[in-house]
């Protein structure tokens, strides 16, 4: 941003052209010779003669214009904002077991989950976000951070096969809760997506939910998968890929118990559109009013026109006493 602290001073600028014309009108009636060498008189009427005659005065008036601009105090400013209230700490938990390759969601469960999770991250503001991936074990893919682009990149990097196979729902939730243990946010949330039932891990889903409840963490659970069976790619003994129909087996009673015991909700996503709608609903449920203080910090820029004015004035003085000195 740019402004003048005292813009009224700029009203003096239009006066300068009038003074400039008056100066030359009076100067034209003078009998003095305005050349430092008599030989220059032969150049009278030429462009060079005009520059020699009027140059010093022009420099003087330009210096005055620069001084007026400096007196108006030009300033440049940078706008910023202070966030006066804290946002929400949210950890996304994604199942990356082999069953997430089922194609009942387009193009498959894991890619659909990654797409809507990345969109969810992009839509947040002033909230810290983290990411946990789990299959047979669980690990933190991204700690809580405000770097949304980094979280989106890490969501995109999640793949089936990056962890030993299995479905350790409890470990995934416990890992997320552990990340929120030191959080000072008023609202702490876990969004957990899975397509199966827990069959691995030292901590069960209900036990992990009790941990979340004790720490004030609200858990939203999502069961991803259509009703009945789903088409899943499997490797055949020859190293190729074939497709098999697998029964969709989501432990909805446990996921519902986990969510409701912590004050959250359970959702079922049977296709990509419903999964996107679920994340949008959670996005609206987990909103907090953010109090923001906007301000602009201005810096003084008057030294630049002031220095330019002095430079022009000194140039005029030097030329008037040397090359452009008047003869008496």
202 pLDDT more than 90:
yes
Q: What is the mean pLDDT of residues 125-147?
A: 95
pLDDT tens, position by position, 160-172: 999 999 999 999 9
**11-15, 51-55, 128-132: least confidently modelled range:** 51-55
CA dihedral sign of residues 266, 153, 165, 178: negative
pLDDT tens, position by position, 212-237: 999 999 999 999 999 999 999 887 77
Highest mean pLDDT pick, 3-17, 117-131, 281-295: 117-131
pLDDT in the model for residue 218 = 97
DSSP secondary structure of 65-130: HHHHHHHT-EEEEEEEEEE-S--EEEEEEEE-SGGGG-TTSSS-HHHHHHHHHHHHHHT--S-EEE
Residues 320, 59 contacting (CB under 8 angstroms): no
Q: Output the furthest CA–CA distance in the chain (Å, rounded).
A: 112
Measured between alpha carbons, how far is 66 from 302 in angstroms, rounded to an integer? 9
Q: What single DSSP character describes residue 255?
A: H
Size (the chain), residues: 328
Q: Give the contacts of 306 (CB within 8 A, at least 6 positions apart).
A: 66, 67, 70
pLDDT tens, position by position, 232-285: 988 777 777 888 999 999 999 999 999 999 999 999 999 999 999 999 999 998
More confident residue, 281 or 321: 281
Measured between alpha carbons, how far is 41 from 307 in angstroms, rounded to an integer? 34
Measured between alpha carbons, how far is 3 from 197 in angstroms, rounded to an integer? 63
Q: Where are the beta strands (DSSP E) in 251-309?
A: 266-269, 292-300
- Which percentage of the chain shows pLDDT scores above 70? 84
pLDDT in the model for residue 31 = 47
Mean pLDDT, all residues of the chain = 86
pLDDT band at 159 (very low <50, low <70, confident <90, very high): very high
Measured between alpha carbons, how far is 216 from 187 in angstroms, rounded to an integer? 8
Closest residue by Cα to residue 264 from 86, 90, 87, 85: 90
DSSP collapsed to 3 states, 121-134: HHCCCCCEEEEEEE
**47-51, 117-121, 253-257, 278-282: least confidently modelled range:** 47-51
Six token digits for residue 110: 């894991």
The DSSP bridge partners found for residue 241 are 235
CA dihedral sign of residues 188, 191, 196, 200: negative
Closest residue by Cα to residue 229 from 252, 249, 242, 247: 247
Q: Where are the beta strands (DSSP E) in the chain?
A: 2-4, 74-83, 88-95, 128-134, 138-145, 187-194, 217-224, 229-235, 241-247, 266-269, 292-300
Q: What is the pTM of this model?
A: 0.66
| Complete domains list, the chain, with CATH | 2-78+295-321 (no CATH), 85-285 (3.40.50.410)
Measured between alpha carbons, how far is 82 from 246 in angstroms, rounded to an integer? 52
For the stretch 120-153, what's the b/e string if a residue is b when 16 or more beta carbons lie within 10 angstroms of its beta carbon?
A: bbeebeebbbbbbbbbbbbebbbebeeebeebbe
More confident residue, 181 or 326: 181
Q: Give the contacts of 41 (CB within 8 A, at least 6 positions apart).
A: 33, 35
């Amino acid at each position: 941003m740019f402004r003048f602290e005292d813009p009224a001073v700029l009203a003096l600028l239009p006066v300068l052209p009038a003074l400039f014309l008056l100066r030359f009108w009076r100067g034209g009636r003078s009998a003095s010779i305005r050349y430092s060498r008599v030989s220059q008189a032969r150049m009278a009427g030429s462009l060079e003669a005009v520059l020699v005659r009027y140059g010093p005065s022009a420099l003087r008036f330009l210096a005055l214009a620069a001084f007026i601009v400096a007196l108006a105090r030009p300033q440049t400013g940078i706008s910023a904002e202070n966030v006066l209230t804290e946002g929400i700490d949210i950890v996304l938990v994604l199942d990356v077991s082999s069953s997430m390759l089922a194609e009942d969601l387009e193009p498959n469960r894991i890619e659909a989950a990654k797409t809507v999770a990345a969109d969810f991250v992009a839509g947040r503001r002033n909230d810290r976000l983290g990411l946990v991936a789990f299959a047979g074990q669980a690990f933190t893919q991204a700690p809580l951070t405000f770097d949304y682009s980094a979280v989106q990149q890490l969501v995109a990097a999640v793949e089936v096969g990056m962890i030993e196979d299995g479905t350790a729902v409890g470990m995934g939730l416990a890992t997320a809760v552990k990340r929120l243990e030191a959080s000072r946010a008023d609202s702490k949330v876990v969004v957990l997506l899975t397509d199966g039932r827990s069959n691995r891990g030292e901590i069960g889903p209900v036990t992990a939910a009790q941990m979340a409840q004790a720490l004030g963490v609200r858990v939203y659970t999502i069961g991803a998968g259509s009703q009945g069976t789903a088409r899943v790619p499997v490797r055949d003994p020859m190293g190729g890929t074939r497709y098999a129909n697998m029964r969709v087996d989501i432990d909805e009673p446990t996921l519902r118990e986990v969510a409701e015991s912590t004050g959250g909700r359970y959702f079922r996503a049977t296709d990509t559109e419903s999964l996107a709608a679920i994340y949008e609903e959670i996005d609206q449920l987990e909103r907090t009013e953010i109090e923001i203080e906007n301000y602009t910090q201005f810096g003084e820029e008057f030294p630049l026109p002031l220095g330019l004015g002095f430079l022009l004035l000194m140039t005029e003085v030097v030329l008037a006493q040397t090359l452009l000195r008047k003869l008496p």
